C-alpha cells in the first residue's frame, strides 16, 4: 500500500519547516556576541580628517616608522628622531575581540625606539597603531602583525 500526501498537507509541512528554520536561525543570531570596532565609532568618524592629515605627516617622514617583532615576546617600535618632546600612545588592536585591545603610553628612548612586551597578548593577527605628536604636528602609523 502506498501512502499519498495531499498537496495541502505538503504546503503545511514546507511552511512549518521554513518557520522552524527561521526561528532557529534567529535564536542562533541573538546568542552570538556583537563586537563593534569601537564603542565610540561615531566620534572617531568625526575625527577622520585629522587622522588623514596625521597619516600624510607620517608618510612625509624619513626614515619611516617601523614595527618589528623583537624576540618571541616583544615588539620593537622605531620612530624618526624628533628634536622636541614626543607624546602619544601605542594600541594593539584586535579586530576579532574588542575587549583584547591594549593601549600603552609611547615612551621612546633617545634613539627613537621603544620595546613593548607581548607575552600577555593572544596569538594571532593584531594591528599595531601608533599615534603621536612632536613639534606641534600629529602623526599616525599602523602596521598589521601576527603574533606566533
Q: Which three cell numbers stand for residue 120?
A: 600577555
- Quick one: 41-147 is in which CATH superfamily? Immunoglobulins (2.60.40.10)
Instruction: Name the β-bridge partners of 129.
Output: 91, 142
Q: What is the largest CA-CA distance in the chain?
A: 95
The pTM of this model reads 0.71
* Pairing, β 102-105 against β 113-117: unpaired
Q: Residue ranges per domain, the chain?
A: 1-32, 41-147
Q: What is the pLDDT along the chain (148 residues), one digit of tens a residue?
A: 677 878 888 899 999 999 999 999 999 999 987 766 666 777 778 888 899 999 999 898 888 888 888 877 888 888 887 666 888 999 999 888 777 888 999 888 888 888 888 888 888 899 999 999 988 889 999 999 988 8
Amino acid at each position: 500500500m502506498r501512502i499519498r500526501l495531499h498537496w495541502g498537507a505538503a504546503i503545511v509541512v514546507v511552511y512549518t519547516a521554513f518557520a522552524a528554520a527561521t526561528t532557529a536561525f534567529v535564536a542562533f543570531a541573538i546568542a552570538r556576541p556583537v563586537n563593534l570596532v569601537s564603542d565610540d565609532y561615531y566620534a572617531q568618524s568625526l575625527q577622520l580628517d585629522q587622522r588623514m592629515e596625521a597619516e600624510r605627516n607620517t608618510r612625509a617622514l624619513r626614515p619611516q616608522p617601523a614595527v618589528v617583532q623583537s624576540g618571541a615576546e616583544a615588539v620593537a617600535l622605531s620612530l624618526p628622531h624628533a628634536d622636541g618632546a614626543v607624546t602619544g600612545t601605542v594600541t594593539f588592536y584586535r579586530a576579532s575581540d574588542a575587549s583584547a585591545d591594549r593601549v600603552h603610553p609611547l615612551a621612546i628612548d633617545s634613539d627613537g625606539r621603544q620595546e613593548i612586551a607581548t607575552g600577555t597578548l593572544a596569538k594571532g593577527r593584531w594591528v599595531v597603531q601608533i599615534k603621536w605628536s612632536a613639534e606641534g604636528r600629529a602623526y599616525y602609523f599602523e602596521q598589521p602583525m601576527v603574533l606566533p
